[in-house]
Every structure is written in structure tokens, then in C-alpha cells.
Structure 1
């Protein structure tokens, strides 16, 4: 479940074991944090029987670090007991997931304002947060507990469990306003499982039409980056009403060769035939239904159109 790069794995494990050592004499704290992780572990497909291996793994870790230092029997027994307790508390938390929504803790690593009303938040989850381009993260701000909002999510597989959340408040939007105006690096957000379909059907070979609103550059960048990284050969045409010409490079610099990026709203003319295409529409909630209708009217079958509103 940990990031693929060995250096990233070691860093996450070092932090986790360090936290465990600091809090092992506070079982109430340890139990509560394990219970929080339990539902996420279950969501990621780890069965309770696998958690029982933690006792063995903790002892193996003790013997290997540092190399050559003898380990006493009582130390082994202490670590094995700790492993069994952690496994039990994780399993208890996983069992509770049947009654409560799963959530990930996501510390904010960086917060950057975009334009006059938007912001990009770089966040980290210690366990993977499954998310594909086009899907929306469901986010709670610590400032407004119990209130959740959909946000554009930009996963970054190369960065391990680090990704971006892009927020542009619309209308009366207290959570969006809190994320943009009152959130800073060091704050901790909570994420629930993603909402919506991925932008592109991985089993399709049809050309792809992408129609994005001005504030929807985040999911489109994520989609184009994924298609290039996976070597997806399908033809892609993007309509995006960029404010200025240089904004187009925010898409072009991540797109595969041959991707057509058109600065403008869809449709640009009346002669295009989009029959035989898949489509992805990303826009603000008030506009996405109208844009979808225009895409269907241009020839894309309704069941080949995927939408996201953020």
C-alpha cells in the first residue's frame, strides 16, 4: 500500500514507527489513531487476517535495525505485543467501517491562491487515496466539521501519496471559502472516498472529446498527464476557454503529442462530427448539464459522455 519508491517507503515507515515509539505508553491515543486507520486499511483491501502478521513484522524490524545489535528476549516480546495490539485496534476500526463512512487524514503541505477566488492545496495521505483523473475528492475542513464539499482532485502517482486539490467557490459555499481563504500549510483535512466516474473509459479505443469550463483545468491536466504516462494512443481534442494564450500551455505541457487543444467554448463551429467519440465534460455545477446536452447534440452517444462538476 505504500508508495512505490523505496526512499518514500522508508520515510513513511520511519515516521510511523517514530510516532508509535513516542505514543506506545499512551494506549488510549494509540488505540484511537489505529481505529481511524482501520477503515482506510479495509477500504484498500487488507483483510483482518493479514493484520495478524504485524506482530512478526515488528520483531523482524527490531532485529534488522540497527544491524548487528543484539536484541533481548523481553524487547522482542514487547514489540510482538505491540504488534498484536495495533492489529487488533486496526481490525476494530475496520469493523466500524460498516457503520461509519471511511475517511483519510490529509495534512496540507502547501496552499497557493489561484486568481482572485481559487486556491490549490497540496495534501498528503499516509495511506493511498484511490483517485483517477475526473473523479472528485470529498473534503472536510477542520474549520467546518461535519460539512463536506466536492473538490477537483489531481493525483500525482510519481509523488507517492501526495496530490492536489483545486477549489473555486461557487455561490454560497462556506466550505469552499474556508479552504481558499482560511486554510494554510499544516492544517489537516479529511477526505472521504472519491465521487464520480473516471474521465476516460480505460477499455475504450474511441477518440476522446474533452470539454472543460474555465475553472476545470485541474481534472483535464490530470487526464492528459495520465494518458501520456500510460502511452494511451487515442486521439484527444480539448476545448477550454483559457483566459489568455499562455494558459493553454498549462494543458499542452502535459499532453501527449498529437493532442489538439482549442481555446474556446464547445462547439467552435457547426461542421464538426463527433459521432464515434467518447466525451468528458468538466465544469461548474450550474453549467455542466447544459454543456453535456450540447455534446450529445453534436453526435456523441449519451452513454459515452462522462461528466464532473466541481
Structure 2
């Protein structure tokens, strides 16, 4: 029997363990899943298990106490892992009333998690650990209703992850690549080119997760800065965010000829095929990589669409790819570029990229693509919605966590990682 069937069948209910009450009977597990109802229950009981740092700590303690071998599947530092699991919990809770979105989100997770060596038994272990963590966190205030809702939510998510993994069996779990070029564009920024041993399928605007052998089991997302090329080479723009992490390894300690691993391409920042709508591109920092790939793709299409690019940087020196910008402006008459500099010579009158976009025109008929620092992405997405651009036509990079949406505002998606290192 497939794991998904086991997960959703009455006999698949895990034993809560010695001394633990069983949450509910068989009949509830056979009924169609009602995410909205569980969302209400989980939200009502959130004070018992928040902040999530305690719940997640208990969860990993329970996992590693019962199955010590699992610790070897995780990186040495668990901090990044804990943060992403917390964000994933918030995402699931906020979107549980829209099962289609959760299903798509978790299917992508399942496809991506194949690179981590996740096996069906690991999902079962995780469920046992979550049940134990809920009990430890809530203590005497633990309720059967709360646990049932949490475990139903988890099973719904896991079923979609299993289906996503099953649908990707024809592709490798990850691709082996070799660094073919490494160019420093500043003390904390590098442009890398990577060639994979096998063709790497992706679309312009997507991203992948990269693992360096300098930090085994640790994966970080980076946008691909080009549309697919005939030679199969990929380009990445990496800014060092601190010492000791993947960005530090890629910027300061990686050389031409070094190996890297790439997870499957992800993301929905891809161009549609509607030539009737012009495109609005908003980029900040290394978010320029995504915008550059989309412009590259637009230039290849026979039906030209007008494109307006706002590119933000703290100073003029932070515009690290000016040669490419100048070439694009010269060769693409359908593209208009508006630099937004925050400080020093050339500083814009607008306080931010979002303000510059709002001041420059009516974007309600466009399709928008926003990439860059989370605060910029959030401010721009909400600003465009206030300017009557429908949320479904605002595409953006994943941002850190989810924000409660205002009326009519777009929901901002969480990073697509639950057990990412």
C-alpha cells in the first residue's frame, strides 16, 4: 500500500506511545479532510504551543531521543532548520482553508526533499515526534481536539509531499555541477557560473537550492540569473550575508573547478504567454538575477512586450551589473530602466523602491514580478495592490514568513522549506 493511502486510512493512525491518550477514534480519519475546521481549532489553541521555538525544540528532542541516527541527516547547526520549520508551520496554518494552495506548496516540497534522502519512514517518525511535542508543550492543557487537528494538518501536507516526490521519480533528486567561472563584484558579492553534468531543466525566473561540499547537508536558495542556454551553463549572483554560511562559502571559499550540488528548479516567477500585457519588473540587490533572467527570456520571444524595470540599490557602487544594464537598454528598445539609488551621488528623491514604483505611473494593466530583499518585496507587493493591480498578477520571490493579508492584499508565500538544512 502506498504511503499516501496509509496516511489517510484509519489503520494508519500512529500509536501515541506509552502513557499517552489516543486522540480520537478511527472514524474521523476516514472522513474527507476539512482544512478550514482544523484551521479554527489550531488557531484557537495556538497560545498553548507558541512561540513555536519551544514546540520545535521538543519535536527534535523527541525525534533524536527515539531515533538517534536521524541526527546525521541534519547539518551541524540546527538554527536555520528550526527557523524554516517555524515558517512552514505558520504557512500551513494560514493557508489551511485553501487546500489547493497547500497541496501545490507541499508537492513542490516533496519533489525538492528527495535531494535530502527523505524516506517514507521519516514522515511517520516526524508525526510521532510532533504528537509528543504538542503534549510536552501544552502540558496539562493538552487536548485531544488540538492534537487531532495538528496531526490531520500534517497528514494532509505529507500526502501532498509524497505525491510530489512520486511524480518526480523520472528526474534525479539533485544535479552535480562544476563551477566554470567565479568573479568577485565586491567584497561580499560574487557571480558564479556553473555547468551541470546532466541537463538541468528550469524556466527563466526560477531558483534552485545549492549545496557546497564545504557545508554538507546545508542547502540555500539562489535565483538563476539567465534564461536556459544552449551550452547548459547557469549563472548565480551571491551576496555574502555573514560568516560561516553557504553564501560565505560560495563568495569567499569557492573556486573554478569546485563541485556543487543543485536541487530541482522551483518558483512561480515565470513569464506567462499573454502578449497583451506589458511587464513590470522590480528588483533590489541580487534580486536583479531574477529580473535579468526574465528580460533575457523576453528578448528571445517573437512577440515583444513592453517592460519597465525598477532596480534598487543602496548606493551607485551597489549596482554591480551596470555593463549588462547598459547593454540591455541599448539592445532592447522595449525596455525602460529606472535605477533607484538610496544614498549618496545619484540618490533618488523617492524614499524607497516601492515609493518610486508608486510615483511613476499606472501599473494596473501590467503583470508584475518583484524580487529582492524581503522588506522590499513585501512593501512593493502591497503597494501595487493598493494601486489596483490584482494580486493574482503580482509574482514575487518567497519572503521570510507570512504576513496577515489586509483586505484585498496579496498573501505572501513562505520559503518552500520544511526540513531544509
Same fold (TM over 0.5): yes
Q: Work out whether residues 168 and 176 of structure 1, in 8 Å CA contact, stay in contact via their aligned partners in 2.
A: yes
Q: 1:241 aligns with which of 312, 321, 328?
A: 312
Look up the match of 2:186.
115
Greater mean deviation of Cα atoms: 240-249 or 284-293: 240-249
The residue correspondences of 1:266-281 to structure 2 (distance < 5 A) are 266-268=354-356, 270=359, 272-281=361-370
Structure 2 counterpart SS, 1:241: strand
Change (3 A) 1:279 1:241: same
SS in 2 for 1:234: coil
Cα pair distance change 1:229/1:173, threshold 3 Å: farther
Q: How does 1:272-291 map to 2 (within 5 A)?
A: 272-291=361-380
User: Structure 2: how far apart are the matches of 1:250 and 1:155?
Assistant: 12
**CA-atom RMSD, angstroms?**
3.0
1:292 aligns with 2:368: no
The two structures have a TM-score, normalised by structure 1, of: 0.62
Find out whether 1:254 has 2:299 as its counterpart: no
C-alpha separation between the residues in 1 aligned to 2:208 and 2:189? 16
Residues 27-67 of structure 1 show CA distances to partners (whole Å, capped at 9, x for unaligned) of: xxxxxxxxxxxx9xxxxxxxxxxxxxxxxxxxxxxxxxxxx
Q: 1:286 to 1:189 in 2, by over 3 A?
A: farther
Who is 1:149 aligned against?
220
What SS does the aligned partner of 1:288 have? helix
Name the SS of the counterpart of 1:228 in structure 2: helix
Q: Is the 8 A contact 1:136 1:194 kept in 2?
A: yes
Q: Which runs of 5+ in 1 are unaligned?
A: 1-38, 40-93
2:395 and 2:261 map into 1 onto residues whose CA distance is 26
Tell me how far 1:101 sits from its aligned partner: 7.0
Q: Deviations over 1:76-102 (max 9, x none)?
A: xxxxxxxxxxxxxxxxxx99x759971
Contact in 1 for aligned 2:277/2:366 (Cα 8 Å)? yes
Change (3 A) 1:206 1:307: same
Give, in angstroms, the shift of residue 278 of structure 1.
0.6
- Report which of the two has the higher share of helix: 2
For the 8 Å contact 2:208–2:222, the answer to whether it is kept is yes
- For residues 146 and 284 of structure 1, the distance between their equivalents in structure 2, rounded to whole angstroms, comes to 25
Cα drift, residue 292 of structure 1: 1.5
Q: For residues 1-310 of structure 1, what are the structure 2 equivalents within 5 Å?
A: 98=169, 102-155=173-226, 157-170=228-241, 174-203=245-274, 205-242=276-313, 243-244=315-316, 248-254=322-328, 256-264=332-340, 265-268=353-356, 270=359, 272-309=361-398
Residues 232 and 216 from structure 1, CA distance in 2 versus in 1: closer, same or farther, beyond 3 angstroms? farther
**Scaled by the length of structure 2, what TM-score is found?**
0.47
3-state secondary structure, aligned to 1:212 = strand
Instruction: Report if aligned partners of 1:276, 1:300 keep a CA contact under 8 Å in 2.
Output: yes
CA gap 1:301/1:272 in 2 versus in 1, 3 angstroms? same
Which runs of 5 or more structure 2 residues have no equivalent in the other structure?
A: 1-110, 112-164, 341-352, 400-421
Q: 1:284 to 1:110 in 2, by over 3 A?
A: same
The structure-2 alpha-carbon separation of the partners of 1:139 and 1:259, relative to structure 1 and needing over 3 Å to count, comes to same
Change (3 A) 1:188 1:271: closer
Report the equivalent of 1:74: none
* TM-aligned CA distance change 1:99 to 1:210, over 3 Å: closer
Specify whether residues 252 and 98 from structure 1 end up closer, same or farther in structure 2 by C-alpha distance, changes over 3 A only.
Answer: same
Contact conserved, 1:283 with 1:309, CA < 8 A, in 2?
no
